[in-house]
Every structure is written in structure tokens, then in C-alpha cells.
Amino acid sequence: MKKICALVVYAAVALALAGCGAATIAPNYQSTNPDLMRIGGDTPGSKDSEIINMGSYCLQVTDKWKADGKTPDGQMIWTKDSYRKAVPCR
């Protein structure tokens, strides 16, 4: 019985070492919508506020990019905040 337990322990240690010793997979940072999140580079360009006519009222939309941390390999993560406000139509 001791031999079987020792064999199981050695097998578990061997599997753990093999798993930790394997080459790591390079990170792949992607967004399905790059208009909301970007990785790396400088601050993405912000556009001016726009006013959208919604029929009975108008909506002012302002988009701003902000640094929202870094990836494990040191690239900046940029996310976009979108601010909306009801305004009188012109």
C-alpha cells in the first residue's frame, strides 16, 4: 500500500512540475469593439461633443478616453466613457 501511495505522490509531483515548466502562452488582448477599449499606444483621439435630435428632445453625447490600468506585460489599457445629457434642440 505504501508503494502505491508513494507512486501516486510522485506522479502528482511530476505532473505539477511538467505543467509549471511548460512554455507559457503569449497574452492576446482583443476587443470585439475597438471603439470601446484599446490596448497600448498613446491616448486615442477624442472627438467633439455631438448633439443628436431624438424627436421630442435632443441628446448631447460626449466621449472621453481614460487610462484604465495596464496589462501584465505593461501595455496601457484605454477605455472610453460616454456621457449623455438631454439638452434643448436648437
Eight-state DSSP code of residue 89: -
* Per-residue three-class SS string for 54-71: CCCCEEEEEEEEEEEEEC
Helix, coil or strand: residue 43: coil
Residue 82, pLDDT above cutoff 70: yes
* Residue that the C-alpha cell 505593461 belongs to: 74
pLDDT tens track for 3-58: 888 888 888 887 777 766 666 666 666 667 777 888 888 888 878 899 999 988 99
CB-based contact 51:60 (threshold 8 Å): yes
Going from N- to C-terminal start, the domains of the chain cover: 2-25+36-87
